[in-house]
Amino acid sequence: MCGIIGYTGKKMNAKDIVLAGLKNLEYRGYDSSGIAVNENGKINLYKSHGKISNLEDRLKGKEILSSTAIAHTRWATHGKPNETNAHPHRCGKVTLVHNGIIENYMELKKELLEKGVTFQSETDTEVACAYINDIYESEKDKIKCLSKACSAFRGSYAFAIIFDDEKDVIYATRKDSPLIVGLSDDGNFAASDVSAILDFTAKYILLEYGEFAKITKDKVTIYNADLKEIEKEVKVATWSATEYKKNGYDHFMLKEINEQPDVIANIFSRYLNDCNYNDIDFLKYDAIHIVACGSAMHAGMVGKYLFQNYANIPVTVDIASEYRYSTQMITPSTLVIIISQSGETADSLAALRLAHSKGATTLGIVNAVGSTIARESDICIYTYAGPEIAVATTKGYTSQVAILSTLVINAMKQKGLLSDELFENIKQDFSNISSNLNHIISKKEDYINVAQKIFDHNDLFFIGRGIDSAVCMEGSLKLKEISYMHSESYAAGELKHGTISLIEKGTPVIAIATNNDLYEKTISNIKETKARGAFAIFITTDNFKNSTFEDFSDISITLPKTTEFVQAIEVSVLLQLIAYETAKLRNCDIDKPKNLAKSVTVE
C-alpha cells in the first residue's frame, strides 16, 4: 500500500536515485507516482498518473540537480488515482510522502478549514501535511512538531518529510506502516523496505513505532517517543539486489513459479536435517486458530485439513480482517498461527496483537525477514522463499503450505500419530519434490492448451473435495486476479446447492481429484456439470490413470501421486501455470494486475 523513499547525500542526482529505488517498491501500488526535489533551495514537485514509467517519461531529458529527494508510488485509498491526489503533498513549508491512512483526517480537516487552510486534493495525506505545517508555525523544533502532530493522528502512517527552511534534511517516522532508514557512504535513505535501497546499500536501521529519524547526508539521528536520542542496531539485508531482477524471465511471476522447486525442496530438507520446531509443544494447546488474508488464508485452509485429518487437532481458519473484530475464544491455551508473506499485512498484524492481548501463543509463518509480524510473533518460522515481486503470490503461498505440512508432521510425531511407513513415504516425497515440480513446470503445452480453451469465457468454476477444495480456492484466486476472468471455487458437493444454475453450454469447470477416498464422489460432481453443458478440465493423479477420463472430461491432466503433505503444492503449481498462460492470452499485465498492491498495510 504505497511505497516511499527519500534520499539525501553527496550525489546531485537524487532524482535518479529515488526513482531507481521507487521502481523496486512498485509492487506496493502503481496508481500514480511523484517526486519532490530541492532545486537551488526551491522544492519542486513532479507527478504522474499510473505506473512509475509515466513519471520517468515525464522527467526524461530534464536536468534536475538536487542532493535531496523524496518519492512515492501510490495505491489509492482516499481519492481517485490522479495527479492532484498523487504524493508528494505540500502545504506551507512542509512537503511529504505518506504510506497508511489517517483515519481522523475529516476531523482534522474541519479544524484546518476553520483556520482558513485550503486543500487541492481529496487525500488524508494532504490534511496530515497541512496539520504538521500548522503546528510548525508555532513549534519550530521539527522533531517536537512531528511528535505533536503524530499524537493527533489516528490510523497508520510512514512519513518522509522535508521542510523548506532546512535544506538537505529528511525527517521520518512511522506507526503501523513499515519504514527503514538506509545508510551508505554516499548518503542516507528513508524507505518503505530494504528492496528500495539495495542498489545502493545493504545497511539499514528498522524504525519502530513512535521513533523519529533525522537524516542528513552523513548522519542519521534516531529519537525515541520521549524525543531522546537513541542508538539503534544497524542491520545488513540478507536479500541481494539481483533477486529483485527478472533474470531473463518474461515476468516476475514466471520467475517465481520456476523458483518453487528449490524453495520447497529447501524447506523440506531444512525440516528433515535440522528440525527446529521442538519448542512448539502441540500437546499444550486446546485449539489452533489460523489467521491470514487472501492466498495466505488459502494456505491456512490446506493446513487446517492436514492438522485435522492427520494430527487430530481442531483448527479454525479466519480471515484476519474479520478475526480482529470478532469475539473469538482466544485463551492462553490457543495457538494462533498468523501467515503472511510480507509480514506487514495490517489486518494480520492486528489479529496477532489481539491474540497477544488475550495471552495466546502466536506463531508467525513469514517470508519477509525482520518484518513486523516476524518480530512480534512469539515464534517465527521463516519460509525463506526470497523476495516475491509479482503481485500475485506463487512461491510465497506454496512455501507457506510447505511449512504447515512440516508443522503437522511434527504435531503427529508429538502425538504418536505418525507411523513409520507414512513418515518414510513423506520423506520420499520430500526428496522427490524438486524433480516433481520441475516436471510439472515443464509441461507448458498442457497449460497453454487449457488456456486456449478457457481464455475467452467470462466465468469459470473450480471444484474439489477435501484438500482439493482448499487448493481450488487458491487456483481460483490466482486465475481471477491476474486474468480478470470471473472465477469461483466450490466444494464439489456444494455446487448443486445453488450455483450450478450458472453452468451453461461451454462454461469451463476445473475439477481436482487427488484423494483416493473422494475420487469417485468428485467424478459424480463433474458429471453433474457436464450434464448441464460444462467444459470439464480434470486434474488428477497418475494412480487413477485409466481410459475413462474422456467419459466425463474434455481435457485431463495427471500429476505424480504423492502423500497429501506435498500434493497440494504440486497441484497449486500447475494451477498457477494455467492462470499465467490464460492471463497471457488475455494480454493482462501479469506482474501488476489492476487495482491490486502486494503489501496491504491498510485495513
> Among candidates 499, 574, 502, which has minimal Cα distance to 538?
574
Choose, by CB under 6 A, the member of 24, 67, 342, 582 that binds ligand F6R: 342
Residue (34 or 294) nearer to ligand F6R, CB: 294
Closest approach, Cβ 155 to ligand F6R, in A, equals 19
Binding flag, residue 576, ligand F6R (CB under 6 A): no
Helix ranges, 511-563 (H): 519-530, 549-552
User: End-to-end distance of the chain based on CA atoms, in angstroms?
Assistant: 10
Closest residue to bound ligand F6R by CB: 294
DSSP-assigned beta bridge partners for residue 510: 462, 537
> Among candidates 509, 557, 499, which has minimal Cα distance to 530?
509
What is the C-alpha to C-alpha distance for residues 97 and 518, in angstroms, rounded to an integer? 54
What is the C-alpha to C-alpha distance for residues 515 and 331, in angstroms, rounded to an integer? 35
Choose, by CB under 6 A, the member of 263, 600, 601, 602 that binds ligand F6R: 600
Residue (390 or 492) nearer to ligand F6R, CB: 390
Q: Which amino acid is at 280?
A: I
Binding flag, residue 340, ligand F6R (CB under 6 A): yes
Is 380 annotated as catalytic? no
Binding flag, residue 318, ligand F6R (CB under 6 A): no
Of 49-57, 66-74, 294-302, 509-517, which segment contacts ligand F6R by CB under 6 A? 294-302
Choose, by CB under 6 A, the member of 32, 125, 192, 341 that binds ligand F6R: 341
> Among candidates 392, 404, 405, which has minimal Cα distance to 295?
392
* 8 Å CB contact between 105 and 128: yes
What is the C-alpha to C-alpha distance for residues 497 and 528, in angstroms, rounded to an integer? 12
What is the C-alpha to C-alpha distance for residues 328 and 310, in angstroms, rounded to an integer? 25
Binding flag, residue 392, ligand F6R (CB under 6 A): yes
Binding flag, residue 296, ligand F6R (CB under 6 A): yes
Q: Which amino acid is at 381?
A: I
Choose, by CB under 6 A, the member of 133, 195, 295, 540 that binds ligand F6R: 295
Closest approach, Cβ 349 to ligand F6R, in A, equals 9
Distance of CA 57 to the CA centre of its chain: 28
Residue (36 or 337) nearer to ligand F6R, CB: 337
* 8 Å CB contact between 225 and 233: no
Closest approach, Cβ 446 to ligand F6R, in A, equals 22
Which residue among the candidates 51, 142, 255, 598 is catalytic per the annotation? Answer: 598
Residue (348 or 529) nearer to ligand F6R, CB: 348
Determine whether 88 is exposed, middle or buried from the number of CB atoms within 10 Å of its CB (0-12, 13-18, 19+).
buried
What is the C-alpha to C-alpha distance for residues 462 and 488, in angstroms, rounded to an integer? 6
* 8 Å CB contact between 43 and 14: no
Of 40-48, 215-223, 291-299, 582-590, which segment contacts ligand F6R by CB under 6 A? 291-299
Window 460-499: residues binding ligand F6R (CB under 6 A): 477, 481
Residue (129 or 392) nearer to ligand F6R, CB: 392
Closest approach, Cβ 350 to ligand F6R, in A, equals 12
Residues in contact with ligand F6R, total (CB under 6 A)? 14
Closest approach, Cβ 294 to ligand F6R, in A, equals 2
Residue (106 or 325) nearer to ligand F6R, CB: 325
Binding flag, residue 507, ligand F6R (CB under 6 A): no
What is the C-alpha to C-alpha distance for residues 557 and 539, in angstroms, rounded to an integer? 5
For 147, the grid coordinates are: 511528535
Choose, by CB under 6 A, the member of 88, 155, 294, 370 that binds ligand F6R: 294
What is the C-alpha to C-alpha distance for residues 48 and 87, in angstroms, rounded to an integer? 10
Is 304 annotated as catalytic? no
* 8 Å CB contact between 584 and 577: no
HSE-CB for 495 with a 13 A CA cutoff: 30
Residue (125 or 398) nearer to ligand F6R, CB: 398
Window 38-97: residues binding ligand F6R (CB under 6 A): none
Window 348-377: residues binding ligand F6R (CB under 6 A): 348
Closest approach, Cβ 601 to ligand F6R, in A, equals 9
Which residue among the candidates 2, 129, 293, 588 is catalytic per the annotation? Answer: 2
What is the C-alpha to C-alpha distance for residues 428 and 430, in angstroms, rounded to an integer? 5
Binding flag, residue 293, ligand F6R (CB under 6 A): yes
Of 43-51, 114-122, 214-222, 338-346, which segment contacts ligand F6R by CB under 6 A? 338-346
Q: What three-state secondary structure class fits 123?
A: coil
* 8 Å CB contact between 338 and 351: yes
What is the C-alpha to C-alpha distance for residues 361 and 505, in angstroms, rounded to an integer? 51
Of 96-104, 335-343, 535-543, 554-562, which segment contacts ligand F6R by CB under 6 A? 335-343
Q: What are phi and psi of 460, to 5 degrees?
A: -150, 150
What is the C-alpha to C-alpha distance for residues 571 and 61, in angstroms, rounded to an integer? 49
For 241, the grid coordinates are: 539486489
Of 48-56, 247-255, 340-348, 529-537, which segment contacts ligand F6R by CB under 6 A? 340-348
Residue (124 or 481) nearer to ligand F6R, CB: 481
Of 142-150, 162-170, 341-349, 410-418, which segment contacts ligand F6R by CB under 6 A? 341-349
Of 116-124, 138-146, 154-162, 337-345, which segment contacts ligand F6R by CB under 6 A? 337-345
Q: Which residues bind ligand F6R (CB under 6 A)?
A: 293-296, 340-342, 345, 348, 392-393, 477, 481, 600
Catalytic residues: 2, 598
